Amino acid sequence: MELRKTEKMIIYQVFPRWFGNTKTKLIRNGSLAENGVGKFSDFTPLALSKIKELGTTHIWYTGVIEHATKTDYTAYHIQKDHTAVVKGKAGSPYAIKDYYDIDPDLADHVENRMEEFEALVARTHEAGMKVIIDFVPNHVARQYHSDAQYNFIEELGQNDNTSKAFDPNNNFYYIPGQPLTLPFTDDDDGLQYSEFPAKATGNDRFDAFPTCNDWYETVKLNYGVDYLNGRSKHFNPIPNTWYKMLDILRFWAGKKIDGFRCDMAEMVPVEFWEWAIPLVKKDYPVIFIAEVYNPALYRSYIFTGHFDYLYDKVGLYDTLRAVICGQAPASNIPACWQSLEGIQSHMLNFLENHDEQRLASDFFAKDPAAGISGLLVSALMNTNPFMIYAGQELGERGMDEEGFSGLDGRTTIFDYWSVSTLRNWKNGGKFDGGKLTDQQKQLRQQYITILNIAQNEPAITQGDFFDLMYANEKNRFFNNRNQYAFLRKYKNEVILIVANFTHSEQKVWVNIPEDAFRTLGIKDNEAAIQKDLMTGKETISTLTTAWPFKVKLPACSGKVLKFTY
């Protein structure tokens, strides 16, 4: 039996690196000096209040911890990275260089970068929202070195036996006797990158020859699994890496953050999470969100690993993307929740994040308005959290060719860049959307409306769910390829949600079966106040098995109708 939650989390994922950057003249592969960079200070109280307007309960500040970069910060006693093992000019936020430090790009005064982050956490809390940051447990930058950790903390790899490919107490995996061979010959001031013996690459490449398609800029951390010998596990005694990663989690939890989004959590043995998460939660009230893509592992990482939430990527995201693009019928959606019986409330829904292509890009729906129908389903279907990606609510297309990222329909995580929709919304610090188009303003208002319904309506945050698709399979006035309908119920309120995935207005008749009335405890054909939660319009209406409920659906959108008895 799952515990009911009274609050529905709405997460706003944002890259500080480009959120506040207002530079308009951008150069492909440009440096920090050429293209500029956003700062923590760009999240002013006004900016935060406008983010909260979306119904936001949590902000995931992505790319906070210091990572490898081509920008030279040696003046601040930060070790320089070799250009051959950095992706893009800014570097990947998932190639951590120092687990105990802040990305210097994000500070107005680099020497005060930790204090500026702590001030951001405090401002976010004062604005009524909580803070999530990344924890990257599976791999680190090739040249990992902490200049910020306490002297009594042993450096990763400091005491490794590099003559062994695997040792339970090593922090890294090695290819003894072999130098690392990179897929290119980039040098740095005439010096080629040198690594001997080679370390295994972050995406489980256990040889000395990573390719361009590998995570060649990272090295794999050793949690006590011998991958080359039957994946045998060596967890007793507790591996050295476990203690070091627990200390890192406690360090950041002590900064008064509220949660961790754990990168590629499924590449770390569930036994580590089973051990570490309760130890962290014993002292700090933080949540843990896991990036897990293998459905066969979901229940293990929830019930054994103690994760609060997991990405629902291969289920609902992939299904809704196919439906929005006309590649699959809406009747495929019920299989998503059916496969998650007992764990639905632990899944994190989304239509965009930094790994996925922008909804409005040429690679996805092309038109941002086409995503509203998917938003209605993803945000309102169950009590579990929902996440949006900064700029999604403005129709950001991600169709810039920024540099290393290339033209891929994503907003770069590797390059110094600025996002035009966010600049126009920011409007010189007014955050009034003054430079947005009418269509962009309307889109943002739709997101505000729907996400606040998700956050504020008890039937959504706590209520029961009833899928209506099976009752409309043979309904000739309902197209189950292009429409999806369901009910939410709490106490004396019932909400009917009908999503329309077509690009034209549709008039549909929705059958409400006897099972729905019986299961949800609704009285058949009883007069109720019907309120259109998208428009605020009220009337008197009823739901009954005697005849279908008639509703007119806007193109690429839908209706959210609340019946109060």
Closest CA to 276 of 286, 63, 220: 286
Kindly state the greatest CA–CA separation across the chain: 81
Whether the CB-CB separation of 329 and 478 falls below 8 Å is answered with no
CA atoms within a 13 Å half-sphere pointing along the CA-CB vector of 468: 30
The values of phi and psi at residue 369, to 5°, are: -65, -25
Given this model, what pLDDT does residue 414 score? 98
pTM of the model: 0.97
> By the 8 A CB rule, do 543 and 522 touch?
yes
Q: Would you say residue 2 has pLDDT above 50?
A: no
Please, are residues 375 and 349 in contact by the beta-carbon 8 Å criterion? no
Tens digit of pLDDT for each residue in 130-188?
Answer: 999 999 999 999 999 999 999 889 999 999 999 999 999 999 999 999 999 998 876 77
Three state DSSP letters for 355-366: CCCCCCCCCCCC
Task: Give which of 177, 293, 275, 156 is closest to 222, Cα–Cα.
Answer: 156
According to the model, what pLDDT value does residue 7 have? 85
- Residue 190 pLDDT exceeds 80: no
**Could you give the CA distance from residue 236 to residue 204 in angstroms, rounded to a whole number?**
23
Q: Where is average pLDDT lowest: 150-154, 204-208, 397-401, 464-468? A: 150-154
Confidence of residue 191 (pLDDT cuts 50, 70, 90): confident
Whether residue 3 has pLDDT greater than 70: no
Q: How confident is the model at residue 4 (pLDDT cuts 50, 70, 90)?
A: very low
Whether the pLDDT of residue 1 is over 50: the answer is no
What the block records as the tokens of 38 is 């956003």
* Helix, strand, coil abundance in the chain, percent, nearest 5: 30, 20, 50
What confidence tens digit (pLDDT) does each residue in 223-240 have?
999 999 999 999 999 999
* Whether residue 515 has pLDDT greater than 50: yes
Q: Dump pLDDT digits (tens) for 467-499.
A: 999 999 999 999 999 999 999 999 999 999 999
pLDDT at 187: 74
205: amino acid identity, one letter: R
User: What value does the mean pLDDT take over residues 1-10?
Assistant: 67
Mean pLDDT to the nearest integer, 428-433: 95
pLDDT value at residue 55: 98
Per-residue confidence band for 521, with pLDDT thresholds at 50, 70 and 90? very high
Question: Could you tell me if 250 and 281 are in contact, meaning their C-beta atoms sit under 8 angstroms apart?
Answer: no
- Euclidean distance between CA atoms 483 and 376, whole angstroms: 12
pLDDT tens digits, one per residue of 453-464: 999 999 999 999
In tens, the pLDDT along 332-390 reads 999 999 999 999 999 999 999 999 999 999 999 999 999 999 999 999 999 999 999 99
Q: Which of 34-43, 183-192, 492-501 has the lowest mean pLDDT?
A: 183-192
Q: Is the pLDDT of residue 29 over 80?
A: yes
pLDDT at 5: 62
**pLDDT at res. 6:** 75
